[in-house]
Amino acid sequence: MMNVKAELRETNFFTRYYCHVCGGCTEKVAILTEVPDGEYEGFRVCERCLEAGDIPAKMCKHADELNEFAEELRKLAPALEVPSRDEYQAAERRYEEKWRAAEAVAE
């Protein structure tokens, strides 16, 4: 496989971005380390992984964790029970009504 080069780029959107190396997130940093184009465009390395080094070992550890998670997902898939979309929307309405009532008391 040819080498893939991650480069430093500025961002003006300060949020936490997913790190593909460790599965964690960046802090709200100004500089991101990302692959700019090609097959792995957007592959990101957080500042903590950069600082700690040994990126290949971290990637392999994360890949093992993803494999374990994939097994858990397959096991859980037929058993997971979730609320309906209607139940979700009703909960949202109750939440909004609760906060509107609290605002009305505050005014």
* Residues found near Zn ion in the complex (CB under 5 A): 19, 21-22, 24, 46, 49
Closest distance to Zn ion from the beta carbon of 24 (Å): 5
Q: In the complex with Zn ion, which residue's Cβ is closer, 24 or 36?
A: 24
Burial of 39 (0-12, 13-18, 19+ CB in 10 A): exposed
The residue behind tokens 């040994």 is: 54
Number of helices and strands (H, E) in the chain?
A: 3, 3
Q: In the complex with Zn ion, which residue's Cβ is closer, 32 or 46?
A: 46
Closest distance to Zn ion from the beta carbon of 81 (Å): 34
Closest distance to Zn ion from the beta carbon of 46 (Å): 3
Closest distance to Zn ion from the beta carbon of 83 (Å): 33
Q: In the complex with Zn ion, which residue's Cβ is closer, 54 or 71?
A: 54
Full DSSP string of 8-22: EEE-SS-S--B-TTT
Nearest by Cα to 18 from 39, 53, 52, 49: 49
Q: In the complex with Zn ion, which residue's Cβ is closer, 27 or 68?
A: 27
